[in-house]
């Protein structure tokens, strides 16, 4: 009986610990730079409304499904799916869903750690005054020199991975939970401090206008697809992290309520980040460029010119590191849990083995920015003709593995689990259960499939 099934890894001490951990998993580098930019470029407030609607009909139902599967199985994603397939009398190959999630998390962390290492490096660069008075060309030159050095990138990648391994090795309550209890409140405090600073720039209203002013003329089919895609990706779905965190969730905790709170907190972080970034950008006459360039090339110019720029810039990059770190520990946890369960390792050895394997895989990303910049391993295929190792890993995980993982989670939870099983775990009202079931059976899978077909270029 599932009521007697417990996780050998322990469990969260309470509901808030799970909320902090899952929010930490969801909040990452993309919240800081991607969401504010795509919101501003695709209709501002109008886009935010569509995004929130997509969170409600795609993100939250699939998150509830993934948490439910995790708590039902009480094991690593691989063993959870194998157990549930047997329990629900479904084909054994459904365990592949668990393998795909664990592998996706492993691959994502291999390159995520390298980028997080950039942020860690910039904490010290900014604190040391490297950007003080620097021109746009000077900041670009600093960044170019940094990424062109494999030794530097490898060093910061190593430091970040070691820090991640140490936390995970300490277990659920003493490692993961203790870390997020400090990291997430600190992240929110840093955001609030930076928002108050942004108010003093004189361009706070410009930033709010860029982010929130509704421009429905920009709501195109592409904008809707972007909102749908980000609503799915932002919650860390389909990569095993939420499933394994769900396996540590106490039985009496409401999956529906906690999923809604996590989605809300994730969105709040993204909006607050936009309220920090854009006033600073506009105050310094800069363009709100997209992607990592906004963080590592544009904002350092502003930090170098503004009063108290060293302090504000240092706090900003510490914020980035905290966001990356809270995500990283969730990405490595599923593989560590599987080693403990299946290979008889203790958590320390399991964390070291997975950490080393991830670190080695990350070397490919390190070299993609310098020595292997011209190495395009799949250039014989037109779609990958300009793709480095890093580009391939990013495409494989973000565009194929995660959408398929989310799709199969929805299918298994909505169609293949017995209603008695899912009702037992969700423990919600009949109306609430019927709403979730409709969304996870029909709306969410169709939406994720549309996102998947769009990102692989079908339409």
Which pLDDT score, from 0 to 100, does residue 30 have? 83
* pLDDT for position 285: 85
Q: Of 409, 396, 418, which is closest to residue 444 (Cα–Cα)?
A: 409
């609030």: which residue's tokens? 192
Could you tell me the residue ranges of all domains in the chain?
2-455
Q: pTM score, two decimals? A: 0.95
Residue 255 tokens, joined: 């999956």
Tokens encoding 373: 């910049």
pLDDT at 1: 44
- Look up residue 115 and give its two tokens: 């980028």
CA separation for the pair 371, 362 (Å, rounded): 14
Report the candidate in 2, 14, 10 with the shortest Cα–Cα distance to residue 80.
Answer: 2
Q: Which two tokens stand for residue 390?
A: 């890093």
Predicted pLDDT at 32: 86
Distance CA 262, CA 265 (A): 5
Nearest to 103 by CA among 402, 453, 456, 445: 402
Residue 113: per-residue pLDDT: 98
Q: For 361-387, how does the pLDDT look when each residue is reduced to its tens digit (9 = 90+)? A: 999 999 999 999 999 999 998 888 999
* Interval 253-301: pLDDT, tens: 999 999 999 999 999 999 999 999 999 988 888 877 655 677 898 899 9
| Residue showing tokens 């509704």 | 214
How far apart CA 330 and CA 109 sit, in angstroms, is: 9
Neighbouring C-beta atoms of residue 111, cutoff 10 Å: 24
CA distance 87 to 459: 39
Instruction: Map residue 294 onto helix, strand or coil.
Output: helix
Q: Cα separation of 443 and 296, whole Å?
A: 38
Q: Which two tokens stand for residue 394?
A: 């990013």
Residues 8 and 329: their CA atoms lie apart, in Å, by 18
pLDDT under 50 in the chain at which residues? 1-2
N-terminal to C-terminal alpha carbon distance within the chain:
46
CA angle 10, 232, 108 (to 5 degrees): 65
At the top level of CATH, which class does the domain 2-455 belong to? mainly alpha
Tally of CB atoms within 10 A around 275: 20
């Amino acid at each position: 009986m599932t009521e007697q099934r417990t996780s050998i890894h322990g469990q969260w001490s309470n509901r808030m610990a799970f909320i902090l951990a899952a929010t930490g998993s969801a909040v990452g580098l993309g919240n800081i730079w991607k969401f504010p930019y795509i919101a501003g470029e695709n209709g501002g407030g109008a886009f935010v409304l569509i995004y929130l609607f997509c969170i409600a009909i795609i993100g939250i139902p699939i998150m509830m499904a993934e948490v439910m599967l995790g708590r039902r199985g009480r094991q690593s994603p691989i063993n959870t799916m194998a157990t549930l397939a047997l329990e629900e009398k479904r084909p054994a190959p459904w365990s592949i869903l668990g393998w795909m999630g664990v592998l996706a998390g492993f691959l994502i962390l291999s390159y995520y750690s390298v980028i997080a290492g950039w942020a860690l490096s910039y904490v010290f660069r900014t604190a040391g005054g490297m950007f003080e008075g620097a021109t746009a060309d000077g900041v670009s030159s600093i960044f170019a020199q940094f990424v062109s050095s494999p030794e530097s990138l490898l060093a910061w990648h190593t430091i970040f991975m070691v820090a991640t391994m140490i936390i995970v090795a300490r277990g659920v309550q003493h490692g993961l939970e203790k870390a997020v209890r400090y990291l997430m409140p600190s992240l929110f405090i840093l955001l609030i401090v930076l928002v108050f600073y942004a108010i003093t720039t004189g361009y706070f209203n410009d930033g709010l206008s860029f982010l929130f002013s509704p421009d429905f003329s920009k709501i195109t089919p592409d904008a809707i697809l972007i909102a749908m895609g980000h609503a799915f990706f932002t919650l860390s779905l389909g990569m095993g992290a939420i499933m394994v965190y769900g396996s540590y969730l106490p039985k009496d905790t409401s999956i529906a309520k906690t999923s809604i709170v996590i989605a809300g907190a994730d969105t709040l972080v993204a909006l607050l980040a936009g309220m920090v970034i854009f006033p600073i950008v506009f105050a310094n006459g800069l363009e709100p460029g997209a992607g990592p360039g906004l963080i590592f090339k544009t904002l350092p110019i502003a930090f170098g010119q503004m009063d108290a720029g060293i302090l504000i810039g240092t706090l900003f990059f510490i914020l980035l590191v905290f966001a990356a770190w809270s995500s990283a520990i969730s990405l490595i946890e599923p593989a560590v849990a599987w080693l403990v369960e299946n290979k008889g390792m203790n958590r320390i050895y399991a964390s070291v083995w997975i950490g080393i394997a991830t670190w080695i895989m990350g070397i490919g990303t390190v070299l993609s920015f310098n020595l292997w910049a011209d190495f395009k391993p799949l250039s014989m295929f037109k779609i990958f003709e300009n793709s480095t190792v890093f580009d391939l890993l990013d495409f494989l995980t973000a565009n194929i593995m995660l959408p398929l993982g989310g799709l199969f989670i929805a299918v298994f939870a909505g169609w293949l689990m017995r209603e008695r099983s899912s009702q037992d775990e969700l423990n919600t009202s009949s109306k609430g259960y019927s709403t979730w079931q409709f969304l996870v059976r029909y709306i969410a899978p169709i939406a994720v499939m549309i996102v998947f077909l769009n990102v692989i270029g079908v339409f």
